[in-house]
Amino acid sequence: DGHISDATTHISPVSPITIAMFVTSFGGIGFIFQQMPGGSILISLPLAFVSGFAIAGIAFYVLYKLFSVTQANSSYSRESLLGLEAEVITPIPADGLGEIAYIAKGSRFSGPARSEEQKAIPAHSIVRMTRIVGNIFYVRQIPEELLRKYDSELKELEDLEQKE
């Protein structure tokens, strides 16, 4: 089943990763400054503290950016699905539920579907999503003659691309 959300990225700056980065940097940099000629705890402690915060901050920023991009690529809104084509994978009875499969943001999802026109829709039919109520997709079957027209137009485009 597909997950539909309007989520935003929520990453805490106080996470196990940033804490581990701070502790590791603080200890490592403190040790390095302590071992330097003339190194004292009065100099190495503040430098280690500032460096630890800086490295933990950089780690947080990198993770935040990474997760923001990942989440933006895998989440989609309910409204963005309206008008999309889907394939019926479990026949939809006139007065019941079937199942459709669709592609959103490059990933394949499936979900329960009901016929908008209360007509039976056989498996492997191509449908268009018209509305979503709860987690149920309402769909309309795309007429066969339109599908043939789309197929011929697609073939013409592919032929043109091959000639170039």
What homologous superfamily is domain 78-163 in, according to CATH? Nucleic acid-binding proteins (2.40.50.140)
Q: Judge contact between 93 and 113, C-beta under 8 A.
A: no
145 — pLDDT class (breaks 50, 70, 90) = low
Question: With bands split at pLDDT 50, 70 and 90, how would you rate the model's confidence at 5?
Answer: very low
pLDDT, one tens digit per residue, over 61-108 is 998 888 776 655 555 677 888 888 999 999 999 999 999 999 887 788
- pLDDT tens track for 111-141: 999 999 999 999 999 999 999 999 999 999 9
Average pLDDT of every residue of the chain: 84
And the tokens for 153?
A: 């137009």
How many CB atoms sit inside 10 A of residue 142's CB?
A: 15
What is the residue extent of each domain of the chain?
16-74, 78-163
Kind plus residue range of the DSSP H or E element containing 122: none
pTM above 0.85, yes or no: no
Pairwise pLDDT comparison (24 vs 70), residue with the higher score: 24
